[in-house]
Structure 1
Amino acid sequence: MVAQRNYVISNAHILPISGEPFDGSLVVTEGKIAALGAEVEHPKGHQVIDAAGGWVLPGLIDAHVHLGVHEEGEGWAGADVNETTDPVTAAVRALDAINPAEIGFADARAAGITTVNVNPGSANPIGGLAVALKTQGRIVDEMVLRSPSGLKSALGENPKRVYGERKQTPNTRLGVAMTIRKAFTEAKNWQAKDPADRPGDLVSDALAMVLDHEIPWRQHCHRADDIATALRLADEFGYELVLDHGTEAYKLADVIAERGIPVLYGPMIVSRSKVEVRDRSPKAPGILTRAGVKVSIITDHPVVPIEFLIHQAALAVREGMDPVQALRAITINPAEVLGVADRVGTLEPGKDADLAIWSGDPLDTRNRVRHTWIDGELVFSEEPADSQA
């Protein structure tokens, strides 16, 4: 396969996501999509790559992972996902703990996943700043699409358990909500001061980005009552809310749709390991989508290994989700939620050449990724079938 950034992928079945599928070609010039269509001119000097009838899709996007901050098989040495020394760690940045050499990034590329959003964990009521990045790079700063891409917060069992075991606040849902309110109130008071008189305050500075609508509030919540608390807090402080996980969001689908709040649903292929996920359902993405909610499907890697993102989408289709909406849930929908849809999420001229050739319909889990490109660079190529483990 070609290593350069100027080529034409021909003889392909192309799913641009932004329009109807077609059979044709896609032109990449200097790492950007230059043209695509049933009949497009093949520029001189561009190598021709025969897709042999394979399906070409934009690189997939997982909008909620812990890649590089929760390294698989590394134990405490690779566990940088939760700074549990304080319930409010709004100023910590996932960016500072990501190891781009972690094996999960290679798994992502092999699965056609080219963009992820890396979050701090859910041990704290306010966990820290997330970052959206590409899945290929030597230095994480070179992989960044948007930083920060949101501020992570958690309701429900996780913060209640972590601090309850220490017999300190917060050890109830009451205390978790109070902790969030207190932090936002302090940030608003800090904002109200003359800038010349404000003391240095990294926590309030991070929360101010949420209050000023510079970044969204990424609310980890599962149960319907916790989702209702998330809505209540958003009303009180007026920030842009994104529901992460939303296990029981389907029970409030009409309310969430009416408010225009996106749901990042998942992980889906997991056991009922705690009370708040006992009503998880693979039917939920379809229910939410039909109600008018913008749904993204997530793995929460390493909770569900990132390579199973497409399997979760296929499961949602099996349980009633429209196939077109399922593909949008792992491409353009998360791109829009992350604020990076101007660069990724669809195949359109001017966008980054982040794409993959599949052996066939990706929602048929018998098919696989043949090749993946990021910024026009080939980052994965399948091995011959008889050499694979």
Structure 2
Amino acid sequence: MKIRLTLLTAALLLAHQAMANDIPLTQVRDIADTTTPAAESQPFVVLEAQSLAALRQSLQGDASQLTRTQLEHATQTAKQADNAWLKARGYDFRTKENQQVGIELLSGFNALPKPVLDANLQTVEAINRDATRGLRRQALADAEGISYLYFLADALGPKLGEAFLTAYDKGELGKAAALIKASEVSTGVAKKHFDYKRPFLIPGNSIHLVPDDVVVKDNKPYTADGGSFPSGHTNTGYTDALLMAEMIPERFDALLARGARYGYSRVVLGVHYPLDVIGSRMVAERNVAHYLNDAQYRAMFNEARDQLRAALEKECGTTLAQCAQTAGKDDPYRDPAMHDFYRFTMTYNLPQQKGATKAVSVPEGADVLLEAALPKLSASQRRALMVKTALPAGYPLSGATDEQNFWQRLNLSAAYDAAHKTR
């Protein structure tokens, strides 16, 4: 036992030291490009194509062709999402209350100095400018698929991902589909509160809006309205991915990376800054932890999770553990490089305040986010893991409060990775 604890301590120390280094934007781009339709893996490319085709079909419905009007009114079908079940449960998501908590969590945005905001714009300009065709195509699919769960399939691996697409459209995981989407806390109120212009609206910017040749295929440049901070799409993508990771802990790390990757797509399109994405990741993590610590919500969650897992096993024709196994080069979201990518998306290499040393204090119940993925660890061990693998202090949005500091620095990917390296 002493040897095991020593190895865990050493692994955590190495992980903490490694996180202090920035990752070049070109390296990040190359990692992200492996998770696009331009990937070298044929099975992965096929899965991406299946996901896109299913998305376009759902958007089009019974119409003769897909139009932008249909896109604007997209929602999960009654077959895909069991909203009747959800409504019957009568759960109060306390949306307004959680929105105000989110605004307070992100209040450090108002105190950011000009050099950080300048770097914020320069980073989105660089990522948007240098994005590959594959990144742009995936970003468009991510953007237009916000009302559905199709985007999660590629993080499940070729076999489980295909089973997920089949079960989703057959209506076999309707409770999970309804609950996950209902758990998204809109960022609309926060956008109005912070009232920050999107990068492509800043005078003198070099953003190139991306024509849609993927979903609607009308070549209309993808754009967005409303405030920029925080990102609504990232909030959606990260919330959905994190809840799915809690339901399928066999793919926990890959789904975490998918949530981060979804946010990166917003920067690729030039419609959001890095800080918009970072802020939404913080709020989404807090919201999911909040819900999972509520007994009434947890009862619904468990019911939805059990239905989801049974449906996936049925479609896989084998156990979920076997169906979720890593598929080597055909499983890019399981590539170790995705841990580097995830860490990058926590800061986007924005300036760090030198000398910042504020200690990490784990809010009560936050360790629930690692409970399903690391069931052999106690709550205190999970909290210790969160502290040891936290992002270094001083990055933007870490703010002045313990809550701001924790949610900005929480690195679930590093915590999961460090725990598994000691096995």
Fold-level match, TM-score > 0.5?
A: no
- Structure number having the greater helix percentage: 2
TM category, shorter: under 0.3
Larger radius of gyration: 1
Greater relative contact order structure (CA < 8 Å, 6+ sep) = 2
TM-score, with length taken from structure 2: 0.22
- Structure number having the greater strand percentage: 1
